[in-house]
Amino acid sequence: MVHCLTNSVVQEITANVLLAAGAAPAMVSHPEEAGEFAAAADAVLINVGNPDPPVLEAMRSAVAQARRRNIPWVLDPVAVGGLGVRTRFAVELLDQKPTVIRGNASEVRNLHVAHEGSDAQGGRGVDSTDDPESALEAGRALAALTGGVVAISGPTDIIVSGGRVTRITGGDELMALVIGTGCSLGAVTAAYCVAAGNPYDGAAAAHVAFSGAGALAAKVSAGPGSFRNAWIDALYNGSNALPALCEIEEGE
């Protein structure tokens, strides 16, 4: 059961993707209920894409319960750097030691520079203008700061924590034309952290599943609409076949 406090635009696809991946979604966002529900969940997703004041209060309550009960939680710093409220809030949450930070290269870089008190250096809304390799050092710094895992999404996904780095290449360009692929990846990362038994392997497995499913879906799709459905089907049906559709490189 993944408690998703997430962007209203992506709630439907996030719920469907979690179900396809074998998890159960819930999206309790009332400030007086969010903490109570988080305490009963197996994992929590905090996606800052819709930072209304009541939602921020609900997120703080959910994170506090996750920390209190040692429940894995994922921070998705959507469009951090370009907008002040969400950037300050995401920096605030770094003190709460997210289990995994999952974002594109610009979001990861901007989260790091904002924590250091510098100005944003890239990004255009939710879109990255940076290459994942350019965010590697920022990812290392955030992993050291939080003691957790940082997952940088892009044409090649990079998972980093401590002295370990994994690069996963796969997917398809159509993924960028479907709303919610990145946001739902944060939710599945939370689920896989529980299923895998540790956050690094969970984050890596989630990115392999998404990349492999993207490559598989692209083979039978005519465009973004059919790709969306084929991609969700691939997540549901693909399982053991998906890693073979990616290039996976382990390093330090």
User: Which residues are known binding-site members for substrate?
Assistant: 27, 180
H or E segment and range at residue 75: strand 73-76
Nearest in space to 217 (alpha carbons), one of 189, 191, 193, 236: 236
With DSSP H G I counted as helix, E B as strand and the rest as coil, what are the percentages for the chain, rounded to 5? Answer: 55, 20, 30
Contact in structure between 52 and 188 (CB atoms under 8 Å): no
Residues comprising the binding site? 27, 102, 153, 180
Side chain identity at 95, as an amino acid letter? D
Nearest in space to 191 (alpha carbons), one of 11, 13, 9, 25: 25
Residues comprising the binding site for ATP? 102, 153
Q: What values do phi and psi take at 28, rounded to 5?
A: -95, 110
Residues in the chain, how many? 252
Judging by beta carbons within 10 Å of its beta carbon (0-12, 13-18, 19+), is residue 118 exposed, middle or buried? exposed
The three-state DSSP-derived secondary structure of 26-58 is ECCCCHHHHHHHHCCCCEEEEECCCCCHHHHHH
